[in-house]
Amino acid sequence: MEKDERDKWLEAGRVGKEIREYGISLAKPGVPILDIAREIEKKTSEMGAKTAFPPNLSINTIAAHYTPKAGDTILLSKGDILKIDVGASIDGYLSDTAATLVVGESENPLCRAAREALEKAIEQVKPGAPIDNISRVIEQVIRDAGFSPISNLGGHGVGKYDLHESGFIPNIGGHSSGMIKRDGVIAIEPFATTGNGYVTESSEIQILAFKDDKPVRSKLGRDILEFVKKEYNELPFAKRWIVEKFGKLSELELKTLVRSGAMMEFNVLREESGGLVSQFEHSILIDGDEVIVTTR
């Protein structure tokens, strides 16, 4: 791997770790999650990076893809299971990292199960090793703790301007025949739940991404599309960011852009049976025989 490329992966990881830990420090009972998201975004910019995706602040039964909306009024409550999933971009070189905390309380067994699954899984990361080794360890640690791994979520490859590159890393064993790449970045992210271990898409959508150039009739729609392409490339962005820049009417334009195929949506994911969910995640750089956890 070229030194410049390696340095940018490492810097993206360093920033990702800092903004994750900063988000954790802000999460207290009574704090608006919108304030936490904005502070994470501000900190990312101050560190010379861009967000790889909107800060995901998913509470309790929500597993992923919730970022605060414009005017969001949700306040954290003591005992909430809060997942903070963030990432940084350095010229398109990305990090993806997450941690879970119990708001206002110490770590509970559900959080500990996902954290320990991640640490044990990282021990399996070796160039050319079977991905299934990672999956089986994650499943075993979480089940031994008395919880269920979420079967339809998992880790993934990470590429330049590509947050979910090919190479899915399941959280249960027996579902991957792939091998760990010898050069590149992967993200491992165990999810543990008190429920049945399956997430479904809700109707709520707060995150989108550019998909393809399509003809756009309205000037506002064209302006939004050009802004998104220039500012975010193909990385996910928050609906809130567009509303705050272009005004309330932009919500309707985003729906039109989705229908045209110019944009894609990321539905908020909830645990199907109403179980509480915890998540931990690290990004890992593999450079020849060297394995580096960039977000630790």
In angstroms, the CA 270 to CA 65 distance is 9
Q: Are 144 and 274 found together in one domain?
A: yes
Domain coverage including residue 251: 202-268
For the stretch 197-217, pLDDT in tens is 999 999 999 999 999 999 999
Q: Are 168 and 73 members of one domain?
A: yes
**How many separate domains does the chain show?**
2
233 and 223 within one domain: yes
Exactly one of 11, 41, 132, 189 is catalytic; name it.
Answer: 189
- From the list 11, 156, 165, 271, the catalytic residue is 156
Catalytic residue among 11, 41, 80, 96: 96
- Residues 113, 171 within the same domain: yes
282 classed as catalytic: no
Structure tokens at 284: 């890992």
Task: Identify whether residues 261 and 289 lie together within a single domain.
Answer: no
281 is catalytic: yes
> Which residue of the set 85, 116, 132, 253 is catalytic?
85
CATH of the domain at 245: 1.10.10.10
175 in active site: no
The pLDDT score that the predictor gives to residue 1 is 84
* Catalytic annotation, pick one of 164, 223, 234, 251: 164
Active site residue 271: no
Q: Are residues 166 and 242 in the same domain?
A: no
Tell me, yes or no, if 156 is annotated catalytic: yes
| Same domain membership, residue 258 and residue 247 | yes
Triad 182, 186, 189: Cα angle to 5°: 145
Task: Clarify whether residues 282 and 238 are in a common domain.
Answer: no
What pLDDT tens digit does each residue of the chain (296 aa) get? 899 999 999 999 999 999 999 999 999 999 999 999 999 999 999 999 999 999 999 999 999 999 999 999 999 999 999 999 999 999 999 999 999 999 999 999 999 999 999 999 999 999 999 999 999 999 999 999 999 999 999 999 999 999 998 789 999 999 888 999 889 999 999 999 999 999 999 999 999 999 999 999 999 999 999 999 999 999 999 999 999 999 999 999 999 999 999 999 999 999 999 999 999 999 999 999 999 999 99
Does 210 share its domain with 77?
A: no
Strand residues in the chain grouped as ranges (E): 50-51, 56-59, 62-64, 81-86, 88-90, 93-94, 97-102, 148-149, 154-159, 162-170, 183-188, 191-193, 199-210, 237-238, 263-271, 277-279, 282-287, 290-293
Same domain (yes/no): 10, 148: yes
- Same domain assignment for residues 136 and 173: yes
Q: What is the pLDDT of residue 255?
A: 97
Residues pairing with 155 in the sheet: 169
Same domain, 153 and 245: no
Please identify which of the residues 18, 80, 281, 282 carries the catalytic annotation. Answer: 281
Domain CATH number, residue 82: 3.90.230.10
